[in-house]
Amino acid sequence: MDILSLSFLAFCALLLVVYFLVPDRRQWVVLLVFSLGFYLLGGWRNGIFLLFTALTTWAAARWIQADADRQQQTLKAGKATLSKEEKSALKARGKARRRRILTAYVLCNIGLLCVFKYVHFALAQADALARLFGGRVNDTIHWIIPLGISFYTFQCVGYVADVYWGRCKAEPGFWRVLLFTSFFPQVTQGPISTWQDLSGQLFAPHRFEYVNYSHGGQRMLWGLFKKVVIADTLAAPLVRGAFAGYRDYAGLSTLVCGFLYSLQIYADFSGYMDIMCGLCRMLGIRLTENFERPYFSKSIAEYWRRWHMSLGAWFKNYVYYPIAMAKWNQKLGKTAKARLGKAFGSYLPATVALVVTWLATGLWHGASWSYIAWGGVNGLFIIFSMWMEGPYAKWKQALHVNESTWLWRAFQVCRTFVLVTFIKVLPEVGTLADGLGFWRQVFAARFWPGTENLVPGATTGHLVLTALAAVLLFVTSLVQRQQPLTHWLARWPRWAHYLAVAVLALVTLYYAGAAAGTGGFLYAQF
Amino acid sequence: MRSFKRALRVTAVTALLCALLSALVFEGYYQTTQYIYMDAGIRRELAGSVDTLFCCSSQGKNALVPAQYDLFTGANSYNLGGAQITMEGRYTLLKQELSRNPVKTVYLELSFESMSRNRRSEGIEGDLYLLARLDNPLQRMAYFLTHFHPGEWRQTFHQTFRLGLLCWQDILTGKLLEPAFAETKGFQPEESVDLTLSRQMLAACHHAETAPAVIRPENLRALEKIVALCREQDVRLVLLTVPISPTLIWKTANLDEIHDQLADFARANDLEYYDFNLYRNGHYAPNLFFVNERHMSQYGAEPFTRNMADLMARVDAGEDVTGLFYPSYAALETDRAGADGLLD
């Protein structure tokens, strides 16, 4: 279902009415019905894979939980009779058994994700390899990737891993696990929530509250505005033109369009999140936040803690920490410490974990070398910053840099924004060579656009509106530093508040009409 | 419950405010005559005096000149034609004018595409123009709700809002225009374009195209509504097809099939039907009388309207005019090709 359609608005209105009409304890059933309806409207075949994931998730979690409970009971029963060694052996056997279940589950689901997402990439690489030896591998597969598979698979894997680690109990009801898997506001583009965060929200009774309705509705509207007006209408045409024809652009025009891409993807993705978080808020559900004014970050590492936060948290919890804390990695660190020095040894386990995490993050975003390189460059910057922490501190001391001044903070924010934009654009222009070529164009012989407009093909009016939109995002981000926008608006005189909401709605509706039938969400492709 | 009532109240106030702001912008458009199709004011002024109506598509709008017709017959006519207008749109306008004018005759122009046109695939353009030709917001709202698919609402809002903003800009900068059709009474005069094709091109394109011959049910329903409306109001309804460029006749293979469909409809409903492409005295050369292959220019429209008025006078006098028309397009082609070579 198109999120930017009247049918989606009608769908939300119907959900709101039904949700608050049914008895509290049945509200989650309404969410399940609407979620499945939303998902199946995108194609019933998608539902088969979603169902498979939900079913295996439920079964694996239950199995692990039952095994852990059984072991606990055995230990309890044999508290007096079992020796310490017997208890340890029992625990080790149980853990190994549960690890086997977890491994089989992860292989099954991540395997399914890989098959759908990476089969073409794998075949292309196989073909390239085969050509070296005079052979060929033809890609005749025409699968369509099930909607949201990257998001719901990660969410479910996280849940089963949490059950394995004892962070949460397995849910006995299959239908509840199915809702956790298919909850429509997050199934297509996240956020990737943990069971602990989401289950309490989904299955708790919610009463209709005006403040939730009002704040949620306004947040939805703000999200629609960001998506429809800023991302789709203002930034997207300029960015599309630049990515397709950057070779004819002046250096400054290329640079501006690179920054506009940062604006577009932020307005697009955070717009979606605002729509969905707003809708959930209307239902009384607090969805995991995915953004915390990321372009105000002072380093790339901080940026990734504030951009697509749920994905970052997932990789941190389920990839980075397990690798960083793995026995073999710790051993590697100790060996390196003994042979290559204390500093090297202490950074090595984290570096190994970061390399794997960022390459995996790149691969998650897209099955291409550009995305792998994108992940690699992100990781490289973060690893470099980590290794250079000591020298940086010394340099800053030597240069008498006062880190508490706004000027220094502004420098850090601008530097991070430029670096982040550089990295973001790399996989989006086409091939990796195109991405690098795009940035090379900034330093082309002709930097100033000359007689044509700053961005070729764009009218002055369009550029002015885009600049105003960027200023609006900047100002609202500054406001959000202190308080949510809805709280800020609530302090306005009532007539001004109403007028602001009405104008925002009309402007959004106006541009939504212009863009009728175009544009999906950028993050849906991941 | 109090929370729910408050939510309803706030939603209603916000929606009302949005509606008021939209209406303010929209009316900037609807209350001006910045675009040529906006003739509601002219028709309001003529209300009570019009006795003949031309109910047309854009082809009729370009071909039927009320001033010429009036001169010849002493009537007071008005051309209701519109670009991209649907049959339903024609019915709506006709109904409005019949309700406020002592109309005796309605000429319903039927082009070869008029019954096969698909509103859904053509889009909202024709109905957007029509909204701007209605008298008041209530009529517009009623027409909008009954003739626009919900999937088109966003686009309709966008287009109307955009036009509204442009009109407000004109209002604020003092660039208001006078209504375009005040003097022509709905007729749209346009300059001629030479559509003559070379002999080689003519030879290559003979019957190379086929016009859609499927009558769409919604068009038929609207046509039947027009027939019923005229019967109900005791108004004489005459069906007519205005001339298209001879080059298009030459290119199109199945005009006879469509002509027969229209003639059958007329017969079944006991209506008069005149296809002026087949009129023996009305040969309109492609280099002088057309704007494009489907639309007549002012220089074609004037003699054509005189021809049409003359023919109707003969009909009114009881003359049998059957012989003044070729029986079919095949006969027309044979005769013309024989007399003039390839459509000279």
Closest CA to B343 of B191, B190, B195: B195
Q: Provide the CA A117 distance to its chain's centre, in angstroms.
A: 17
Mean pLDDT to the nearest integer, B267-292: 87
Cβ distance of B10 and A214 shorter than 8 Å: yes
Residue B59 has φ and ψ, to the nearest 5°, of: -65, -40
Distance CA B328, CA B280 (A): 11
Whether residue B23 lies within 8 A of chain A, CB to CB, comes out as no
Q: A483 CA to chain B: closest CA distance, Å? A: 23
Cβ distance of B154 and A509 shorter than 8 Å: yes
- The pLDDT score that the predictor gives to residue A520 is 60
Residue A267 has φ and ψ, to the nearest 5°, of: -65, -35
Q: How many CB atoms lie within 10 A of CB A410?
A: 12
Whether residue B231 lies within 8 A of chain A, CB to CB, comes out as no
Chain A, window 182-211: residues with a beta carbon less than 8 angstroms from a chain B beta carbon:
208-210
The pair of three-digit structure tokens given for residue B86, joined into one six-digit string: 């649907």
Which sign does the torsion angle of CA A431, A435, A436, A440 carry? positive
Mean pLDDT to the nearest integer, B34-38: 85
Interface test with B, best of A2, A208, A213 (most B CBs within 10 A): A213
- The pLDDT score that the predictor gives to residue B101 is 94
Residue A151 has φ and ψ, to the nearest 5°, of: -80, -50
Whether residue B145 lies within 8 A of chain A, CB to CB, comes out as no
Q: What is the DSSP letter of B284?
A: -
Is the pLDDT at B27 greater than 60? The verdict is yes
Q: B133 CA to chain A: closest CA distance, Å? A: 22
Q: A142 CA to chain B: closest CA distance, Å? A: 30
Strands B52-55 and B77-79: what pairing?
parallel
Distance CA A352, CA A401 (A): 32
The pair of three-digit structure tokens given for residue B67, joined into one six-digit string: 């001033």
Q: Specify whether the CB–CB gap between A417 and A293 falls below 8 A.
A: no
**Which residues are paired to B238 by β-bridges?**
B107, B272
Q: How many CB atoms lie within 10 A of CB B326?
A: 18
CA-based nearest residue in chain B for residue A499: B17
DSSP notation for A487-499: HHHHTS-HHHHHH
Q: Specify whether the CB–CB gap between B296 and B243 falls below 8 A.
A: yes
Whether residue A19 lies within 8 A of chain B, CB to CB, comes out as no
Residues of A in contact with B7 (CB under 8 A): 208, 210, 213-214
Reading chain A (526 residues) residue by residue, the pLDDT tens digits are 788 888 889 999 999 999 999 998 899 999 999 999 999 887 888 889 999 999 999 999 999 999 999 998 988 888 788 888 888 888 899 999 999 999 999 999 999 999 888 888 888 888 888 988 888 888 777 777 888 899 999 999 999 999 999 999 999 999 999 999 999 999 888 799 999 999 989 999 999 999 999 999 999 999 999 999 999 988 888 999 899 988 888 889 999 999 999 999 999 999 999 999 999 999 999 998 999 999 999 999 999 999 999 999 999 999 999 999 999 999 998 998 888 888 788 889 999 999 999 999 999 888 888 889 999 999 999 999 988 888 888 998 888 888 889 899 999 999 999 999 999 998 888 888 888 999 998 888 788 887 778 888 888 889 999 999 999 999 999 998 888 888 999 899 999 999 999 999 999 999 888 765 445 655 555 5
| Cα–Cα distance list, B81 to A385, B103, B109, B130, B301 (Å) | 72, 16, 9, 10, 14
Q: Is A232 exposed, middle or buried (0-12, 13-18, 19+ CB in 10 A)?
A: buried
Cβ distance of B13 and A498 shorter than 8 Å: yes
Q: A378 CA to chain B: closest CA distance, Å? A: 41
Is the pLDDT at B339 greater than 70? The verdict is no
Model confidence pLDDT, tens digit, residues A63-113:
999 999 999 898 888 878 888 888 888 889 999 999 999 999 999 999 999
Closest CA to B301 of B321, B284, B280, B277: B284
Q: A492 CA to chain B: closest CA distance, Å? A: 15
- In angstroms, the first-to-last Cα distance of chain A is 17
Is the pLDDT at B217 greater than 60? The verdict is yes
The pair of three-digit structure tokens given for residue A18, joined into one six-digit string: 């039904």
Cβ distance of B14 and A502 shorter than 8 Å: yes
Distance CA B182, CA B175 (A): 18
Cis peptide, bond prior to residue A191, ω within 30 of zero: yes
| Cα–Cα distance list, B263 to A156, A293, B214, B266, B281 (Å) | 68, 70, 15, 5, 20
Distance CA B291, CA B287 (A): 9
Distance CA A186, CA A193 (A): 9
Residues of A in contact with B21 (CB under 8 A): 502-503, 506
Q: Specify whether the CB–CB gap between B298 and B193 falls below 8 A.
A: no
- The pLDDT score that the predictor gives to residue B15 is 94
Q: How many CB atoms lie within 10 A of CB A89?
A: 12
The pair of three-digit structure tokens given for residue B50, joined into one six-digit string: 């019009």
Distance CA B310, CA B320 (A): 13
Q: What is the DSSP letter of A285?
A: -
Task: Write the residue in A7, A213, A516 that is nearest to B7 by C-beta.
Answer: A213
Is the pLDDT at B277 greater than 70? The verdict is yes
Strands B52-55 and B272-275: what pairing?
unpaired
The pair of three-digit structure tokens given for residue B1, joined into one six-digit string: 């419950």
Under DSSP, is residue A445 helix (H, G, I), strand (E, B) or coil?
coil
Whether residue B154 lies within 8 A of chain A, CB to CB, comes out as yes
Mean pLDDT to the nearest integer, B304-315: 93
Count of positions (residues) in chain A: 526
| Cα–Cα distance list, B48 to A404, B51, B101 (Å) | 81, 9, 4
Distance CA A507, CA B65 (A): 43
Task: Write the residue in B4, B150, B157 that is nearest to A513 by C-beta.
Answer: B157
Whether residue B161 lies within 8 A of chain A, CB to CB, comes out as yes
Count of positions (residues) in chain B: 344
Residues of B in contact with A514 (CB under 8 A): 158
Whether residue B7 lies within 8 A of chain A, CB to CB, comes out as yes
Residue B161's identity, in one-letter code, is F
pTM, whole model, 2 decimals?
A: 0.83
Distance CA B327, CA A389 (A): 95
| Triad A264, B164, B131: Cα angle to 5° | 115
Q: Specify whether the CB–CB gap between A274 and A223 falls below 8 A.
A: yes
Among the listed ranges A255-269, B179-193, B207-221, which one has the minimum average pLDDT value?
A: B179-193
Q: Give me the long-range contacts of A116-122 (CB less than 8 A, separation at least 24).
A: A116/A49, A116/A143, A116/A145, A116/A146, A116/A149, A117/A145, A117/A149, A117/A150, A117/A367, A118/A363, A118/A367, A119/A143, A120/A367, A121/A367, A121/A368
CA-based nearest residue in chain B for residue A8: B151
Q: According to DSSP H, which parts of A22-43 are helical?
A: 27-41
- The pLDDT score that the predictor gives to residue A525 is 57
Between the CA atoms of B227, B232, B234 and B235, what dihedral angle is there, to the nearest 10 degrees?
-30
Q: Is B237 exposed, middle or buried (0-12, 13-18, 19+ CB in 10 A)?
A: buried
Residues of A in contact with B151 (CB under 8 A): 6
Q: Specify whether the CB–CB gap between B132 and B29 falls below 8 A.
A: yes
